[in-house]
């Protein structure tokens, strides 16, 4: 007896369904073992150290950025170097347009990495970021990420080590050391601001009038009553495009002198 196509198709569906019911169930994949978290001792703010991950190894993104900066330095083209954390790194984001107009003529290099502390910047410049270039000037602003864990004196020691290292590796470069920018909406009570104020009082003494110049532009970001606003610092820490314009305007006259 010849079966119709409809009957044949029906039999195939029934057969496949029966096989599916009798097939062995698929076992779920075994869960991956959790990554072992290594508890590391605190990194002193004045001792060079790479940024570490929970596995006890240098963070991948940190190392990738560092290696990129080392490669840029080896080209030997930068005349002006900015060193810092995410606030400095932001020149490539919110500050991009301002950066090009304000510093483009200086062949600037932006060596800022988000989350960096003094010990991380110190490690970076001890490991290649100042090799191959002969900049006329370096702008340094670092320390805010240390403020949650380190005392003001320790943070200042970290900044001091950075300045000493730049002087040793690039003796021809003039250094524009900026006071650590204010953070937090209100001036008081604000333990973070109070600590950074003390840091700035200490590092201001690093100015020698010949090679190192200190400049505190923090008040330019604030209202007369000391409040920070979201139009300048959206999260009361990082800068908006308007904030980067303030930064550029505040340091450009001094940089023009140092870049001669």
85 catalytic? Reply is: no
Q: Given the structure tokens 């984001």, which residue do they identify?
A: 93
So what's the pLDDT on residue 31? 66
- Give backbone dihedrals phi and psi of 220, rounded to 5 degrees, phi first: -75, -20
235 catalytic? Reply is: yes
pTM: 0.85
CA-nearest of 217, 196, 111 to 146 is 196
Separation between Cα atoms, residue 201 and residue 213, nearest integer Å: 14
Separation between Cα atoms, residue 251 and residue 179, nearest integer Å: 12
- How are the residues of the chain apportioned to helix, strand and coil, as percentages rounded to the nearest 5? 45, 10, 45
How many CA within 13 A on the CB side of residue 23?
9
CA-nearest of 162, 206, 199 to 49 is 162
So what's the pLDDT on residue 32? 65
Element (H, E) at 132: none
DSSP 112: E
CA-nearest of 200, 77, 65, 74 to 140 is 200
So what's the pLDDT on residue 42? 83
Catalytic residue among 85, 147, 216, 238: 238
DSSP 188: S
So what's the pLDDT on residue 37? 67
- Residue 133 exposed, middle or buried by CB count within 10 Å (0-12, 13-18, 19+): buried
Cβ count within 10 A of residue 118: 30
Separation between Cα atoms, residue 215 and residue 249, nearest integer Å: 13
Instruction: Please report, for residues 89, 133, 212, the alpha-carbon distance to residue 246 in angstroms, rounded to integers and kept in the order given.
Output: 16, 28, 22
Catalytic residue among 235, 240, 249, 252: 235
Handedness of CA 152, 44, 236, 216 (dihedral sign): positive
Task: Tell me the average confidence (pLDDT) per consecutive run of 10 residues in the chain, 260 residues long.
Answer: 45 44 55 65 93 95 98 96 98 98 97 98 98 98 97 98 98 98 94 96 98 98 97 98 98 97
147 catalytic? Reply is: no
So what's the pLDDT on residue 168? 98
DSSP 222: B
Superfamily, domain 60-258: SGNH hydrolase (3.40.50.1110)
Question: How big is the chain, counted in residues?
Answer: 260
């Amino acid at each position: 007896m010849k079966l119709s196509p409809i009957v044949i198709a029906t039999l195939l569906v029934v057969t496949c369904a029966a096989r599916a019911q009798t097939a062995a169930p698929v076992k779920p994949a075994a869960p991956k073992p959790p990554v072992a978290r290594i508890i590391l001792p605190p990194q002193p703010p004045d001792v060079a150290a790479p940024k570490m991950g929970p596995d006890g190894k240098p963070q991948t993104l940190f190392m990738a950025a560092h290696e990129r900066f080392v490669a840029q330095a080896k080209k030997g083209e930068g005349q002006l170097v900015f060193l810092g954390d995410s606030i400095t790194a932001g020149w490539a984001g919110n500050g991009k347009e301002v950066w090009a107009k304000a510093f483009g003529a200086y062949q600037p290099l932006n060596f800022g990495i988000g989350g960096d502390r003094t010990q991380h910047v110190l490690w970076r410049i001890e490991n290649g970021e100042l090799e191959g270039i002969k900049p006329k000037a370096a702008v340094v602003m670092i320390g805010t990420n240390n403020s949650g864990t380190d005392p003001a004196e320790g943070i200042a020691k970290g900044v001091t080590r950075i300045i000493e290292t730049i002087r040793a590796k690039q003796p021809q470069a003039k250094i524009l050391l900026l006071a650590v920018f204010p953070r937090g909406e209100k001036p008081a009570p604000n333990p973070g601001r109070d600590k950074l104020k003390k840091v700035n009082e200490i590092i201001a003494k690093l100015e020698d009038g010949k090679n190192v110049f200190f400049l505190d532009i923090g008040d330019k970001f604030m209202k007369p009553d000391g409040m920070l606003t979201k139009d300048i610092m959206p999260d009361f820490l990082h800068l908006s495009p308007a904030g980067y314009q303030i930064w550029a305007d505040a340091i450009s006259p001094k940089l023009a002198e140092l870049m001669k």
